[in-house]
Structure formats: structure tokens, C-alpha cells
Structure 1
Amino acid sequence: MTIGEKIKMQRKSLGLTQTELGAKLGVQKNAVSKWECGRVDDIPSSKIKVMAQLFGVQPSYLIDDEITNLPSPAITEDTITFPIVTSVAAHYDSVSTDESATGEKIEVPRAYLKGRKAEEFCAMRVRGDSMYPDFRNGDIVLVLKQSTMNHSGEIGVISYGDDEMTIKRINYVDGEDWLELVPLNNLYPPKRIEGVDLESCHVIGIPRVLIREF
């Protein structure tokens, strides 16, 4: 069952019209109609959370079964194995932890590296939910190591402060003395780093592959 079908089913079970549901969510009727018809790419995570509370379900109920609509991946024996070396926080003020002691590894099709060498990547486990729904607690990301962002607004892994490391959308303006860490989950505020605090900031890399277990 798709997100749209679930929204429609839950709305009707509460006896709500599309207009009434839209009013509770702070959106117009046409937005609800669009979501129920399957055009769900632009549903803000905050609206998913509100709908889940309204329907009396977990947010994961609305979105997780979407995986049944994904095409089956191509099977290949040309793979590369990466150890999961560390955790990266999807929240703030969290020191990264060494995950290598678990011995856990992931196997990735070589084609996912798009011609790059395996040593240019490292695997990290996401901890926290500030980047929900794109990145969820327990996800594994294959990070392309680089010391700079490609552009403002890109999602990156960055270390700052006393060994804190986080995955966030990173905003900045070239030539100005600040950057902003922006969560995708609207329940978390952005964090601005500026002035001398920037000296402790270092870009670790850019997430290129997401691995999620269902």
C-alpha cells in the first residue's frame, strides 16, 4: 500500500474530507488530493509526523511500505566490501564512536563507486533522527572523502567542536565567516557556526550511497 493510499484510508476512517484534513495540516485541499494520488515527493517530514499523530500511527507506518514499489536491484558478483568504521550523528553535540570493533561490513556493487577507488570512501552508521526521513537511525552511508563541500546546500559529513561529527545540510556563503548546519527533520533547529569556532570545523566527505535494512 502506498503513502497516498494510506493517507486516504486513514482520512476516511476519521470521517474527514480532503479539505478538513488539509485544514488540520495547514495545507490546501489540492495538496492532500495530490498526495493521495501518489505525488508524494514534496510531503514535508513535519506533515508526515502531524498526520501520523492525527491518525494514531507511527510515521514509519506511512512511509516504510513504499519500498514495495521499488524495482529489484540488479544482482552482481562484482562487489566491494567496506568495514563500518564509525558512527555519524544525525543530531547535535555527539562524539562519534568507533564502530570497527563490531566487525560489521557492508558489500556494495562496484558500479556504485562510479569509477572511483574504494579507498576514496568510508562507511559510517547514522545515529539519531534529525535527518529523517532521508537518513534514519541505523542507516549506513558510504561517504566519499573530501575536505570541501561542492556547493552550499549540499548534504555533508562534518566534524566540529570537541570531536563532534554530524551529517547535515551545510549552508554557507563564499567569503563569509560562518556556516549553518541544517537538519531535514523540522523538529530540530539549524545550528550556526561562526567566527573562531569555524577553526574546529572540518568537512569529512559527502554521502554517496545509502544502505538501509528493512
Structure 2
Amino acid sequence: MPNNSVVALKQVGTSDIWNIYYSELPRFIEDDGYFNPIIDSTTPKINDTIPMQTPSLSISYKSPVELSSGNISIFEVNGKESYFRQSFNGQTTEFLTSDDDKKITINVFESDSYGSVKLDIKSSKSFLNLQSEQEKKKIRDNLAIELSESASVSPDRIKVTERYQNDQGQVVLLFSISATDDPFKSSANTIMKDLNTLIKFKSY
């Protein structure tokens, strides 16, 4: 268990009665709160509030590590709400750099008023097969219009950036939402919440 204990269950004969045994193990290796004894530290630290403009995160290890092909996912937490921000393969050098195999730096999307949309496999394949940047721009522009219409906001509030990533065959497009001082218009945070709900029930 994460608290360094062992729980065992043992059936009594062939009956429906089970005994539960619990024991705490001696701590030979001190854990720094990461539930992983080889993690030395992180930047930002555990429970730190991360500024929206933070360009990167880092993990320092006590021993050399090797990046695997597993996915790394980043979520933005706002109170009780969480929003998917970014996901990429552990061997994606565009977002990961390694320093002496003991420090991993994760580059994150700018996040002031940004979100992302993951295309389905068929749409992703079509997008990646396009040779013309103009054709890719047209798809991004059409997506921005569709997102604006879905959120019932003017098209100048939502823009899809040129940056995208390939997450195991699925394209993730980054879009921005501009802020407003008009009290009669939806805030960027409200638009993000609305789109987050709508995208859950629609495939792109």
C-alpha cells in the first residue's frame, strides 16, 4: 500500500469467512511524498500553486531513469473542476528533455486561456496526410468557427493556433480564448467550461 503497509486476506477453510491481516513494513527508504522512492524533487513542489504562464515542469531523480513509451497527461485544476490540457508520449522529444538521465523537463502549452481538442483517428490521419500548410490552416480555421458556434460566442474570441501534436496517431490541436471586460459576455473560463462539456459528447 502507499503508506508502506501490507494487507493480506485469508479464507477460513472452505467457509465464507475471511480473515484480514495488516502489517506495517519498516522504512528502509524514505519517500518524499511522491509514492516513488527514487524521485528526489519536483519543480513546482507538491501542492504548489502553479502560475498559468509556467512554461515547464521538472522531475529530479535520485538514480538515472529511462523514458518509456507511456503517456504523460497534464490537467488544469480550478477548484473542483479539472480540464484536460495536454497528453503526449514519454518519448516525444518536442515536449520532454533529459539532463544526465536524472532530471526530466516537461514543456507545457501556454495556458492563460488555452484549451485543446483531440481529433478522432480518421480525422487525424487526414490532417497528417495533408502536404499543404494552407490546407491544414483551413481545417484549423473551420474548427475555430465550429467551436465558436458551439459556445455561442463571436468567432474572434476563439482561435486555433498553428501548434499541434501527434499523440499516438491522434492529432491534438491547441486553441486560444480571448478575455473580455464586457460583463454581458461570457468569460474565457466560462467558455472553457462550456466547451469542455460539449466536447465530451462529440467526436472531432
Q: TM-score normalised to the size of structure 2?
A: 0.26
Q: Specify the structure having the higher radius of gyration (Cα).
A: 2
Q: Which has the higher strand share?
A: 2
Higher relative contact order (CA 8 A, sep 6+): 1
Structure ranking higher in helix proportion: 1
